[in-house]
Amino acid sequence: MKNIITIFGAILIILGIASLAYNGFSYTTKENVAEVKVPQVGHFEVTETKQNTVLIPPLAGEISIGVGIILMIASRFSKK
């Protein structure tokens, strides 16, 4: 149990540092804007590519680092 708490604390610290370094991430999606049926030519689809950004607040990274440090310290003082 002690090792699991230490590993979880280390993961939280790493994720907190990464969130402070990158401030978020972006991803792209494709959406159908219109569908057109032309009798002599065929079926057309008009798609739009959108870039979406998810921002991670710096406070979330700081809390993650703090909880990770507390877990690692607590695992050192816990009983077997």
Beta bridge partners of 47: 32
Q: How many CA atoms lie within 13 A of 25 on its CB side?
A: 4
Question: What does the pLDDT look like over 40-77, one tens digit per residue?
Answer: 777 778 888 999 999 999 999 999 999 999 999 998 88
Quote the pLDDT of residue 17.
Answer: 95
Evaluate if pTM is beyond 0.85.
Answer: no
Question: What does the pLDDT look like over 29-43, one tens digit per residue?
Answer: 998 887 777 777 777
Question: Which residue in the block uniquely carries the two structure tokens 């991670």?
Answer: 56
Cα 58 to Cα 18: distance, rounded to the nearest angstrom: 10
Q: Which helix (H) or strand (E) holds 31?
A: strand 24-38
